[in-house]
Amino acid sequence: MSVKDKFELKLGAATREAFGKALVELGKADSNVVVCDADLSKSTFTHLFAKEFPERFFSCGIAEANMVSIGAGLASSGKIAFVASFSAFVLNKGFEQLRVNVAYPQVPLKVVGTHSGISIGEDGPSQMSVEDLSLASSLAGFTVISPADEVATFALVKEAAYFDGPVFIRAGRIKVPLVYGPEQKFEIGKAITLLEGKDLTFISTGLMVAECIRAAAILEEEGISAGVIDIHTIKPIDREAIANAAASTGCIVVAEEHFTDCGLGVKVAQVVCETNPCVMEFHGMGNYYAESGTPEEVLTKYKMTGADVAVTARKALARKK
Amino acid sequence: MNKTSDIGELQAIAKQVRRHIVTMIAAAKSGHPGGSLSAVETLVTLYFDVMRHDPANPTWPERDRFILSKGHAAPVLYSVLAESGYTPIESLNTLRSIGSIYQGHPDKRFIPALEASTGSLGVGLSLGLGMAEAARLDKSPTRVYVLLGDGEIQEGQIWEAAMYGAFHKMDNIVAIVDYNKIQLDGFVKDIMELEPLADKWRASGWNTIEVDGHNFPALQKAFADAAAFKGKPTVLIAHTIKGKGVSFMENNPKFHGVAPTKDELEKALQEIGA
């Protein structure tokens, strides 16, 4: 079965919308679930929860630092507490609070950053979070989740709610292709192999997973067999899946909508170095910020398409030989 | 522990707490005596008279919460927790040593009875608001008390929290500003003046009470007035003296963060009395 036959990549909902719907389902099942937002509820989709459960929704105004600490206080008092904003704001403005009120005392707060990456488009770099995976991962004891599509987001938000420890979940603004069918099971910390490959393995996260599948389809027509692994849990990372991919294909290309200096790629490289060293290439945002434009224009200009990822893969394969 | 409203008994506990503070900081050879000594009466009033808590049952869901947002005053909190029966008195002098439960700043990992790990200034009031919101949602009688340093409220997050508390009518939280008028680099008025401080809290929508922070009956009345006040959060602006109880530490910026020497400790203990 060809890659194209295996994956239709039909457009699904935005991961932020799946997050909002998961919150409502959680709220219906458990009156202990509470949500805080910082005047972006219509954008983060927490407005769905606010409408259903106004008494359990805390509007914090444009004050993310205060919101994170309030969320920590709620979670310290036994609530299943979520705080949400754009990734760029909840992490950058709430970082100190995430460190001292959440990570250090290991308060099980759930932090959701939407509008991650450059695919937010028109709003431009002030709102584009291209360092969130790095920031969240630098908090000791944090679990960091970056789902690829709406199915993964819906399932992983529900998993995270009852996860014993602080969690950061990265979501995006735009509608993204469906990578998973409705029956797919997700386990925090366990990567999912979407395609087995012989020549190289793409390791990716978020909306770049679908682009890696597209890259694999392009390469397949050239006679190259590429595997794809979805690392939906950035931390703790699935070492076994990475080590096995390095051993079996001897060539890894990491693709991410994030700075390559400090994102998924360096984490994968650490595991590869410690297990089965092999050729690696890193595809993502270099040492610069993007710009405004439609999401499609921005993703194309900054080389976040399957065709771009395939170029990086050919480079890696040339080094392998 | 025996709770008491008796002024003589509270004064005796305060004396003991002051002795612990200077002794443990001298033993550690570092720490913050000034801002610990200024907050003694506030913490003794809360832990021995005002707050509903039970050292035998530290996880009681309906307990009142105390957050030492000015975490560097850990010695006063440790002394009060030990005198209350939460933690051992005999190991207070291990303050700041490796493996001690009495860490440099309050650390929940070492003392589970603590409500918060603190030490980075400006975050405690927001954390307390979250706890107060949880209590309100649960229809719990829990009240939340947060002790702030005066220098600490130069942090912007305090004013985010002030807006939230007033707007959401959080009348189950009390902030106390330990207004000893000195911060690390010198006098508050020379670093970043806070005046008119009471006006700022009133304008922010808080029930604002100015009180002599070393006067037990005044503190008792202020906390009772705060509990009776509905529809707004309360802030007590506790006028205090940094280093209170030890003449050479009083109003002396040097003793914000410097331990007494052996000789100074002896002199301090003499002044505090047995």
pLDDT confidence of A50, banded at 50, 70, 90? very high
CA angle at B235 for the pair B231 and B237, rounded to the nearest 5°: 155
* Residue length of chain B: 274
pLDDT, averaged across chain B: 97
Q: Does the domain at residues A3-9+185-320 carry the CATH identifier 3.30.9.10? A: no
Query: Tens of pLDDT along A269-301?
Result: 999 999 999 999 999 999 999 999 999 999 999
How far lies A42's CA from each of A60, A94, A121, A128, A144, in Å?
A: 14, 20, 17, 18, 24
Using alpha carbons only, what angle is made at residue B172 by residues B18 and B195, rounded to the nearest 5 degrees? 65
**DSSP calls for A96-129:** HHIIIIIITTT---EEEEESBSSTT-TT-TTT-B
Output the pLDDT for position B230.
98
pLDDT digits (tens, 9 = 90+) for B212-267: 999 999 999 999 999 999 999 999 999 999 999 999 999 999 999 999 999 999 99
Confidence grade of residue B202 (pLDDT, cut at 50, 70, 90) = very high
Q: Which residues of B make CB contacts under 8 Å with A?
A: 61, 107-109, 115-120, 123, 126-135, 137-138, 156-157, 160-161, 163-164, 167-168
Q: Tell me if B90 sits within 8 A of B24, measured CB to CB.
A: no
Structure tokens that stand for B81 in this block: 């927790």
- Any idea which residues of A carry the catalytic annotation? 64
The mean pLDDT of A201-228, rounded to a whole number, is 98
- What residue has token string 């899946």? A241
Per CATH, A3-9+185-320 and A12-177 having the same topology is answered yes
Alpha-carbon distance A221 to A307, whole Å?
Answer: 13
Residue with tokens 């229809």: B139
Q: What is the pLDDT of residue A179?
A: 98
Do the chains contact at B120 and A65, CB–CB below 8 Å? Answer: no
Please give the Cα distance from A107 to A258 (Å, whole number).
27
Coil, strand or helix: which one is A226?
Answer: strand
Under CATH, to which class is B7-272 assigned?
alpha beta
pTM as predicted = 0.96
In tens, the pLDDT along A261-270 reads: 999 999 999 9
Partner residue facing B126 (CB), from A56, A61, A70? A70
DSSP letter, residue B221: H
Whether cis (ω within 30° of 0) applies to the bond prior to A182 is no
pLDDT mean across residues, chain A:
98
Q: What residues of chain A have any CB closer than 8 angstroms to a CB in chain B? A: 34, 55-56, 58, 60-61, 63, 65-66, 68-79, 81, 96-97, 99-101, 104-106
Q: What sign for the dihedral angle of Cα A300, A304, A309, A310? A: negative
For A222-234, what is the mean pLDDT?
98
Residue of A nearest to B166 (CA): A60
Among B189, B159, B182, B191, smallest CA distance to B249 is for: B182
Mean pLDDT of A296-308: 98
DSSP of B63-122 = --EEEESSGGGHHHHHHHHHHHTSS-STTGGGTTSTT-SS-SS--TTT-TT-S----STT
The closest alpha carbon to A118, from A260, A265, A285, belongs to A285
CA distance A309 to A288: 19
Cα–Cα distance between A296 and A99 in angstroms, integer? 35
Q: Chain B closest CA to A267's CA: distance in Å?
A: 28
The predicted complex's ipTM stands at 0.95
Q: Report the DSSP pairing between strands A233-235 and A143-145.
A: antiparallel
B98-122 pLDDT, tens digit per residue, is: 999 999 999 999 999 999 999 999 9
Q: Which of A73, A96, A100 sits opposite B117 (nearest CB)?
A: A100
Domain residue ranges of chain B, discontinuous segments joined by +: 7-272
Q: What is the pLDDT of residue B91?
A: 98
Strand bridging mode A175-177 / A226-230 = unpaired
Residue B257 is predicted with a pLDDT of 92
> Given a cut of 90, is residue A155 above it in pLDDT?
yes
Is the model's pLDDT at B1 over the cut of 80?
no
> Can you tell me the distance from the alpha carbon of B111 to that of B89, in angstroms, rounded to the nearest whole number?
13
| Per-domain boundaries in chain A | 3-9+185-320, 12-177
**Separation CA A211–CA A310 (nearest Å):** 9
Confidence of residue B274 (pLDDT cuts 50, 70, 90): confident
The mean pLDDT of B130-152, rounded to a whole number, is 98
Closest by CA position to A188, among listed A143, A151, A150: A143
**Under an 8 A CB cutoff, do A76 and B127 touch?**
yes
CATH superfamily of A12-177: Thiamin diphosphate (ThDP)-binding fold, Pyr/PP domains (3.40.50.970)
User: A233 - beta bridge partners?
Assistant: A145
φ and ψ at residue A14, rounded to 5 degrees: -70, 150
Relative to beta strand A192-195, strand A167-170 is: unpaired
Is A97 in Cβ contact with B160 (below 8 Å)? no
How many CB atoms neighbour CB A52 within 10 A? 13
Percent of chain B surpassing pLDDT 90: 99
Q: Which of B66, B127, B129 to mutate to test the interface with A (most CBs of A within 10 A)?
A: B127
